[in-house]
Chain A
């Protein structure tokens, strides 16, 4: 602007007062503001939408993770034990038979310990149906031997069943396979349903974020146009919008995800502090334990990042498309909406 500097001396359409001023007066200019307004109604609304969707997505993710952990825990607990049932018979020495069955079972590799369920324990087991003060010697009640097994290296159940059948014909081996199979199937179904819900929530989240981002961008179309007409390249405009929307989406998704993580952490804390209380037992029965573990929190963090990236990419593509539209109008004036000839 050296030419313009010289012009200052020529008094061009401008009061001469500046001529008498000192050669260089210090002008205070505020720190340069971002090209896109840091905060406006559309931006704030988008941040709230992103926060809500992030919260819902993280909540679903955490719930699925919780269901999976609970199902795995049930499965593990049941498959940790097997039961040998001895049916009573005329003249059978029940105690000796129980002892023999226990010893036979423990000869197998993969078994850890064996417990004969004594009279008191059996009576307690039957108490809900037969009441208290039960004399087991008067009733033909089967008796149980509980064998703990190594889950990682379980014994050969078929061989054990054959041996028991030949040595103790009154014995019946229950490896809980039916229960475990049903439970595994139920757990898988529950997890699949959870994943289905998760996919739906994520899809809704993606669409909501895309539409909300586009809505927020439409309010900034005039900025895109001005930048375009002052010679900004596509990549410059896209990068400016990308930066702006990355900030908004990071704030929104961090708030939503943090809230969800906090909710899980608080529920977990409450549960661990109120162990063995009726409220906690009820909640545990309904929802399992509120522990989502490191994987769950990692998932919540990943969700936050995915939402932020998604918003940023949507902003980039939408701006690119807006510029394309401006260029398209250029190549096809029929599409021009706001340019009536004057």
Chain B
């Protein structure tokens, strides 16, 4: 699904932030991306989201060479990827329902066609009672779940989550992890960037460890 080959990335003339990244994210796989703060986890996720272009190396997304894809086609490709930002990036003037429905709205779908799906998904993530609430009123965990629901609403083939449990207590972290596992069982590949060892210890999953710009993978 995603293939990186000798990918490197540097900012300007600075040192390489990421070096010689070679890995695959297979379909239906589940993996943690971990490493100390500043190791480049978010940067690697942004490369997978196609919001950064590598300085060197090859990236294949869904079987296509990223360097050959015109800019105008990138939104279509991005729609196959769900992203959960570390800072949620919910729009404060939209309700939980409207935030979660946003990806469908930008695809030009009619509200009548997705209304029940959005409500059902919100119930599934435990926000059934918070449908009409604006993000500033939500707790950290609720915002996190709303962001996850937004990433899932259009059934992406891969979900990228940046520190999804960073703002929640351990029981909520456990619930969110279960949510990701269920999603993975349904066929979505999941990449969770985290430095929460306790979270990773709960699941026997592939670990991608970034250290000083280099990647080690433990299957």
Q: Is the CB of A12 within 8 A of B98?
A: no
Inter-subunit contact A336/B11 (CB<8 Å): yes
Q: Are A226 and B89 in contact (CB under 8 A)?
A: yes
Determine if A27 and B52 form an interchain contact, defined as CB atoms under 8 angstroms apart: no
Q: Quick check: is B164 within 8 A (CB to CB) of the other chain?
A: no
Among A30, A329, A341, which residue has its beta carbon within 8 angstroms of that of B17?
A341
16 more CB-based (< 8 A) A-B contacts, given A233-B75, A342-B37: A4-B186, A8-B120, A8-B123, A13-B126, A13-B179, A27-B128, A30-B132, A32-B98, A226-B102, A228-B75, A229-B49, A229-B83, A334-B11, A341-B42, A342-B38, A342-B193
Bound-state Cα–Cα, A229 to B162, Å: 14
**CB atoms of A12 and B39 under 8 A apart:** no
For the complex, count residues of B whose C-beta is within 8 A of A: 75
Task: Please determine whether B98 and A7 come into contact, CB atoms closer than 8 angstroms.
Answer: no
139-186 of chain B: CB within 8 A of chain A: 150, 152-155, 162-163, 174-176, 178-179, 182, 186
The B interface, classified by DSSP as helix, strand, loop or mixed, is mixed
Interchain nearest-CB distance for B191 vs A (Å): 14
B124 adjacent to chain A (CB < 8 Å): yes
Instruction: Evaluate whether A14 and B175 lie within 8 angstroms (CB atoms) in the complex, with A1-B117, A336-B11, A341-B43 already known.
Output: yes
- Whether the Cβ atoms of B93 and A333 lie closer than 8 Å is no
Give the residues in chain B near A74, CB-CB below 8 Å.
none
Considering the complex, which residues of chain A in the window 1-22 have a beta carbon less than 8 Å from any beta carbon of chain B? 1, 3-5, 7-8, 10, 12-15, 18
Contact of A12 among B17, B41, B79, B178 (CB under 8 A): B178
Find the B residue at minimum CB distance from A3. Answer: B186
B1-59 contacts to A (CB < 8 Å): 9-14, 17-18, 37-43, 46, 49-53, 55
Measured between beta carbons, the chain A residues less than 8 angstroms from B97 are: 29
Q: Please state if B78 and A236 are interface contacts (CB–CB under 8 Å).
A: no
Are B120 and A4 interface neighbours, CB within 8 A? yes
Asked whether A95 is an interface residue with its Cβ less than 8 Å from the other chain, the reply is: no
Residue B115 at the A interface, CB < 8 A? yes
Tell me whether B175 and A13 are in contact (CB under 8 A).
yes
A6 to B79, CA, bound (A): 24
A225 interfacial by beta-carbon distance below 8 Å: yes
A222 at the interface (CB under 8 A from B): yes
A-B CB pair tally, cutoff 8 Å: 156
Given A330-B51, A333-B52, CB of A342 within 8 Å of CB of B102: no
Within 8 A of B (CB), among A37-67: 37, 40
Residue numbers in B under 8 Å from A1 (CB-CB): 116-117, 120-121, 153, 155
Which B residues touch A15, using CB under 8 A?
126
- B78 / chain A contacts, CB cutoff of 8 Å: 229-231
Report yes or no: A231 in contact with B106, Cβ–Cβ below 8 A: yes
Chain B residues near A3: list those with CB within 8 A: 155, 186
How would residues 179 to 202 of chain A score, 1 for a CB under 8 Å from any chain B CB and 0 otherwise? 000000000000000000000000
**Docked pose: A41 CA to B106 CA in angstroms:** 25
Mark out the residues of chain A between 298 and 342 whose CB falls within 8 Å of any chain B CB in the assembled complex.
Answer: 326-327, 329-334, 336, 339-342
A339–B18 Cα distance when bound, in Å, is: 14
- Closest B residue by C-beta to A28: B132
Q: Would you list which residues of chain A between 221 and 265 have a CB under 8 Å from chain B?
A: 222-223, 225-234, 236
Least CB distance from A216 to B in Å reads 15
A333 / chain B contacts, CB cutoff of 8 Å:
9-12, 52-53, 55
Nearest A-chain residue to B93, judged by Cβ = A37
Chain B CB within 8 A of A33 CB: yes
Q: Is there contact, CB below 8 Å, between B75 and A12?
A: no
A35 contacts the other chain (CB 8 A): yes
Chain A residues, Cβ within 8 Å of B105: 32, 35
**Nearest-CB distance from B23 to chain A (Å)?**
17
A-B contact pairs, 26 of them (CB 8 A): A1-B117, A1-B121, A1-B155, A3-B155, A4-B117, A4-B120, A4-B121, A4-B186, A8-B123, A12-B179, A13-B182, A29-B97, A29-B115, A35-B102, A227-B102, A228-B75, A231-B75, A231-B79, A231-B154, A233-B75, A234-B72, A327-B74, A333-B12, A339-B42, A341-B42, A342-B37
